[in-house]
């Protein structure tokens, strides 16, 4: 694309600032690529994050119909211009990208010959991802002022990725701590209460003086011990469901088996998923089940969880009264933040008298 007039060049910075104002996280990345694709008349703009040796995953993308790079889609860097993007701060192929990178099937399939990439680096200067823009029209030559605008917003995009990494690390640490506390409760206080119950049983059999009254007192004490054990088990389950140690399918079957509301598990992956993903899905189902029982007056909760490449799709629906407002409940709000931290999305549909449906999409490689 030819250089734009000065008035349009200088407006790109303003356009990007306006188009991304007031949004953070993944939504910021989506708004950024949408504005970039439109402003540069490109077929596609995207943000990708490095995810292992020689691989990247799409975090956000936008472009013209027929040219799609799905969010959560992983792709190999070898043999593509994306691989060379990490050798430069800004990497530009004005024309001939298909000839230069004959192994890149995406460029070939869509007839894309112009390529621009800006590497995203963390605070230590290490590459963590890149912004890519691809076009059919050549020569594809953004003006110097446009490249400067892209540098500014690439720095902000890199900061967003770093923030997400930090939040993910905090989430992992919190989950590990919940697991530790849950196991400590299970192996410590709960076991001591079990011993107490057995001791009280022995005392009941050995009492001689005023056996009737003592028996009543000891029986009440034993009931208190049993209740305390049950409460501790519930607390441990809330911190980290012990049943997840055997996988998501087993954990959800256990959750459904102990529910007073029928739970229909229509589809649940049998293979093990990343621990953070399994924990998030379990908490989503648990929250949906709790809301269906307490507020919705539902007669059933249906659960459908499917794997689609690098994405996990979760659909939870009840047949209750609907009308749920997710902004009023701290449970769903907290889960929304957790899902967003994992690079996913969570939406709630709850029209009056038509039940409530929670739909989540999670990256399998957060």
Confidence of residue 164 (pLDDT cuts 50, 70, 90): confident
Say how many Å lie between the first and final Cα of the chain, rounded.
36
Axis-axis angle for helices 25-39, 144-187 (nearest 10): 160
Whether 195 has a pLDDT exceeding 60, the answer reads: no
Q: Could you tell me what percentage of the chain is helix, strand and coil, using 3-state DSSP and rounding each to the nearest 5?
A: 50, 20, 30
Tell me the pTM.
Answer: 0.60
In sequence order, the β-bridge partners of residue 307 are: 312
Phi-psi region of 125 (alpha: psi -120 to 50; beta: other; left: phi over 0): left
Q: How far apart are CA 76 and CA 290, in angstroms?
A: 42
Task: Tell me what pLDDT residue 154 has.
Answer: 94
Q: Please, is 29 exposed, middle or buried when counting C-beta atoms within 10 Å of its C-beta (0-12, 13-18, 19+)? A: buried
Domain at 243-366, CATH class? alpha beta
Confidence of residue 213 (pLDDT cuts 50, 70, 90): confident
Q: How far apart are CA 276 and CA 149, in angstroms?
A: 36
Radius of gyration of the chain from its Cα atoms, rounded to whole angstroms = 27
Q: Would you kindly state where each structural domain of the chain is located, as residue ranges?
A: 6-165, 243-366
Percent of the chain with pLDDT over 90: 52
DSSP 246-289: G-HHHHHHHHHHT-SS-EEEEE---S---HHHHHHHHHHHHHHH
**For 66-98, how does the pLDDT look when each residue is reduced to its tens digit (9 = 90+)?**
999 999 899 999 999 999 999 998 999 999 999
Please check whether the two domains, 6-165 and 243-366, share a CATH topology: no
Measured over the CA atoms of residue 151, residue 155, residue 157 and residue 158, the dihedral's sign is positive
Spatial CB neighbours of 240, under 8 Å, sequence gap ≥ 6 = 175, 178, 179, 181, 182, 279
Whether 272 has a pLDDT exceeding 80, the answer reads: yes
Spatial CB neighbours of 104, under 8 Å, sequence gap ≥ 6 = 79, 80, 81, 97, 98
Measured from the Cβ of residue 42, the count of other Cβ atoms closer than 10 Å reads 28
Task: Tell me what pLDDT residue 5 has.
Answer: 46
Q: Does domain 6-165 have CATH number 2.120.10.30?
A: no
**For 7-36, how does the pLDDT look when each residue is reduced to its tens digit (9 = 90+)?**
444 488 899 999 999 998 889 999 999 999
Whether 281 has a pLDDT exceeding 50, the answer reads: yes
Whether 117 has a pLDDT exceeding 60, the answer reads: yes
Q: Please, is 318 exposed, middle or buried when counting C-beta atoms within 10 Å of its C-beta (0-12, 13-18, 19+)? A: buried
Q: Give the H/E segment covering residue 102.
A: none
Task: Tell me what pLDDT residue 258 has.
Answer: 82
Query: What's the length of the chain?
Result: 366
Q: Please, is 250 exposed, middle or buried when counting C-beta atoms within 10 Å of its C-beta (0-12, 13-18, 19+)? A: middle
């Amino acid at each position: 694309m030819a250089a734009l007039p000065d008035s349009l060049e200088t407006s790109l910075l303003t356009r990007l600032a306006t188009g991304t104002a007031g949004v953070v996280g993944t939504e910021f990345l989506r708004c950024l690529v949408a504005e970039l694709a439109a402003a540069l008349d490109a077929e596609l703009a995207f943000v990708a994050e490095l995810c292992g040796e020689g691989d990247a995953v799409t975090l956000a993308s936008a472009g013209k119909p027929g040219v799609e790079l799905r969010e959560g889609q992983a792709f190999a860097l070898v043999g593509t211009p994306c691989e060379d993007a990490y050798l430069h701060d800004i990497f530009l192929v004005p024309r001939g990208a298909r000839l230069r990178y004959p192994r890149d099937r995406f460029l070939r399939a869509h007839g894309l010959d112009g390529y621009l990439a800006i590497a995203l680096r963390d605070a230590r200067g290490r590459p963590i991802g890149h912004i890519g823009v691809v076009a059919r029209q050549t020569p594809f030559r953004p003006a110097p002022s446009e490249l400067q605008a892209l540098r500014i917003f690439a720095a902000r995009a890199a900061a967003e990725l770093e923030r997400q990494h930090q939040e993910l690390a905090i989430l992992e640490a919190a989950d590990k701590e919940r697991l530790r506390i849950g196991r400590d409760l299970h192996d410590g206080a709960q076991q001591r209460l079990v011993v107490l119950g057995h001791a009280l049983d022995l005392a009941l059999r050995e009492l001689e003086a005023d056996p009737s009254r003592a028996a009543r007192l000891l029986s009440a004490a034993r009931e208190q011990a049993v209740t305390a054990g049950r409460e501790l088990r519930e607390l441990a389950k809330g911190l980290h469901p012990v049943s997840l140690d055997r996988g998501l399918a087993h954990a959800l079957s256990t959750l459904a088996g102990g529910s007073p509301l029928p739970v229909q598990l229509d589809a649940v992956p049998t293979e093990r998923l990343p621990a953070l993903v399994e924990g998030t899905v379990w908490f989503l189902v648990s929250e949906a089940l709790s809301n269906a029982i307490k507020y919705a007056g539902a007669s059933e909760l249906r659960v459908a969880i499917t794997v689609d490449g690098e994405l996990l799709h979760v659909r939870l629906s009840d047949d209750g009264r609907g009308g749920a407002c997710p902004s009023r409940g701290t449970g769903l709000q907290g889960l929304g933040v957790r899902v967003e931290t994992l690079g996913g999305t969570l939406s709630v549909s709850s029209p009056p008298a038509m039940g409530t449906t929670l739909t989540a999409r999670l990256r399998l490689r957060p």
